[in-house]
A and B are shown apart, each in its own frame.
Chain A
Amino acid sequence: MKKNTVSAAGGRKTLLSVILAVVSIIYVLPVLAVVINSFKQNTFVKTDTFALPTGEMSAGFDNFIKGMTFGNYPFAKSVMYSVVITLLSTFLILLCTSMAAWYIARVDSAFCRAVYFLCVFSMVVPFQMVMFTLSKTADKLHLNTPWTIPIVYLGFGAGLAIFMFVGFVKAIPLEIEEAASIDGCGPVRTFFTVVVPMLKPTMISVGILEIMWVWNDYLLPVLVLDINEYRTIPIHIQYLKGSYGTVDLGATMALILMSIIPVIIFYLACQKHIIKGVAAGAVKG
């Protein structure tokens, strides 16, 4: 290879790196704007959005303190409900759909195929189609609390999870389970001690998709839960603006910052799994 073409290509690559670095900085500016404005006095957020919170503009940590009780609802409570709903729903979905998916893949009866078909079908149905009837049904069955709404999430989210699990179970050779059964393992023990460990990578992918969905979901909880009592973080933030009168933008930004910091930490900590999970979920077709 000629030497000068190599260095020309290298130069082009360095230039590309520089351009992408600039774009990356622009990319994080919206998050920086949130940080800056969460330390700013409310009146300056609108007039000097992109100025640093210095001098008279600075609000110190007032916005954060104010934000904790802002909107007539304690922020800590909405964090707690978001955490409870997300963890319970994800756990329930992983447990129940992996069991059902294994059964569907292994038994393979006409009934199983019908359930599988319904699951795939449910993936193309937009939430608006069922939102009114679903919220009424959930109300009637008293599924309108943070401890029972995971059942609704399991019901509406089962399709994608089962679809992903079935695809993976079908790729596992039957011999391992046969060996377990010859050794005297019943189906329940085979599933939990032999199949579940093999499903772990898919569990992580599905789990991450479910966490991202439930944590950020607004419409389902706002329709199902009693919002005077229970608000998740997205509901809380939406209702800051929904309440009449002027909104304290500084305090809103402080709340938004507090709600995205854990998400960003979670992302940086399990970036590899998240990107893999998202890529796996996207190919659902």
Chain B
Amino acid sequence: MKNKKNTNSNSITKATRRWGFLFMGPVLIAFTIGFIWPFIQGIWLSMCQFRLISDAKFIGFANYVKVFQDASFRHAFWYTAMFAIVSLVIINVLAFMVAYFLTLEIKGSNLFRTVFFMPNLIGGIVLGYIWSMIFDGILGRYQTSILLESKYGFWGLIILMCWQQVGYMMIIYIAGLQNVPGDILEAARIDGATSLQTLFKVTIPNVMSSFTICIFLSLTNGFKLFDQNLALTGGQPFVIQPGGATIKTTEMLALNIYNTFYSSNTTSQGVAQAKAVIFFILVAGLGLLQLGYTRKKEVQQ
């Protein structure tokens, strides 16, 4: 296949192959336990009715039909999509602004960068409790709580995610901004471009790859959000629909799947696994979209 390889490197490859079990063995075993087997089993179980796994009974696509009839899942889907898009816009605008300012060589930019990135290291559960205390401290003065109105829960989660994610996206934008060649900025300045013109006509087109990364990253982060959602509102407030179904108004997709799996309903596990498969297709689809988009960009350049 690769004729260019000389005999020496071929003999090295041969010697290395003899040790394949040592180099690949541990990862292959763990990867099978931790990913491949659960994934295949997950696909299979989404077409079964089961409570344990040993009692699985094949029922075809009945679970998927139930998923699309499930009002709570539809609600969670639209709620998650809304959340992902709103948080995507706000986080990226703020992060790019901050990154842009910090690359202007202003005083204290290292300190600011340190501060803005810091919330990233705090885990989602802890973040949720910190912010639920803060929001309830504010809303408590108006005799209400973040758990009582779904719009508080929505915007509360947006604020929380901005606090956590702006610093992260900022780092990626800073890396992009630092890679903009100095001479084209210099050329723009000599040609008499104002700083706003330079920003929109020179800088932003040159950091488009950073935008692609950040946009898809915040989109998938929004879709996959779980810990923060669980800790901040846990889906509250609940609304009982005329039909008798309970809608957890601030419940996102990942939490909806979790609650379906571990509900007391004995037939819901198969439905939950079907939801998980749909969720996987959704998230993986976003990933593929990004891959295609980045490839196309690379060709253009």
Q: Which residues of A contact B (CB under 8 A)?
A: 13-14, 16-17, 20-21, 23-24, 27-28, 30-31, 33-34, 37, 45-47, 49-50, 96-97, 99-100, 102-104, 106-107, 109, 115, 118-119, 122-134, 136-138, 141, 143, 151-159, 162, 174, 177-178, 181-182, 186-188, 191, 212, 215-219, 233-234, 237-238, 241, 249, 252-253, 256, 259-260, 263-264, 266-268, 271, 274-275, 278-279, 282-283, 285
**Could you say which residues of chain A place their CB within 8 Å of the CB of B102?**
20
Q: Contact: B33 with A141, CB < 8 Å?
A: yes
State the CA gap A130–B34 with chains docked (Å).
Answer: 9
Q: Contact: B34 with A256, CB < 8 Å?
A: no
Interface-centre pick from B118, B138, B223, B284 (highest chain A CB count, 10 A) = B118
Q: Is there a chain A Cβ closer than 8 Å to B77's Cβ?
A: no
Q: Contact: B106 with A129, CB < 8 Å?
A: no
**Could you say which residues of chain B place their CB within 8 Å of the CB of A103?**
16, 19-20, 23-24
Give the contacting residue for A256; candidates B104, B105, B126; CB below 8 A.
B126
Q: Contact: B34 with A156, CB < 8 Å?
A: yes
Chain B 1-35, CB-CB to A under 8 Å as 1, else 0, gives: 00000001101110111111011101110111111
**Could you say which residues of chain A place their CB within 8 Å of the CB of B113?**
275
Question: Which of B38-46, B65-73, B83-91, B150-158 participates in binding chain A?
Answer: B38-46
Q: Is there a chain A Cβ closer than 8 Å to B64's Cβ?
A: no
Give the contacting residue for B125; candidates A123, A158, A234; CB below 8 A.
A234
Interface class of chain B by DSSP: helix
**Could you say which residues of chain A place their CB within 8 Å of the CB of B104?**
13, 16
**Could you say which residues of chain A place their CB within 8 Å of the CB of B125?**
216, 218, 234, 237-238
State the CA gap A282–B41 with chains docked (Å).
Answer: 30
Q: Given the known A-B contacts A16-B106, A158-B27, A259-B126, are A122 and B35 also in contact in the complex, defined by CB atoms under 8 Å?
A: yes
Give the contacting residue for A260; candidates B106, B126, B213, B279; CB below 8 A.
B126
Interface size on B, residues (CB 8 A): 96
Residue of A nearest to B118 (CB): A267
Q: Given the known A-B contacts A212-B121, A264-B118, are A174 and B9 also in contact in the complex, defined by CB atoms under 8 Å?
A: yes
Within 8 A of A (CB), among B36-61: 36-39, 41-42, 45, 53
**Could you say which residues of chain A place their CB within 8 Å of the CB of B34?**
134, 151-158
The smallest C-beta distance from B179 to any residue of chain A, in angstroms, reads 12
Q: Contact: A50 with B137, CB < 8 Å?
A: yes
Q: Contact: B16 with A46, CB < 8 Å?
A: no
State the CA gap A188–B224 with chains docked (Å).
Answer: 40
Q: Contact: A137 with B38, CB < 8 Å?
A: yes
Chain B 96-114, CB-CB to A under 8 Å as 1, else 0, gives: 0010011011111101111
Residue of A nearest to B231 (CB): A238
Give the contacting residue for B217; candidates A143, A237, A253, A282; CB below 8 A.
A282
State the CA gap A152–B119 with chains docked (Å).
Answer: 27
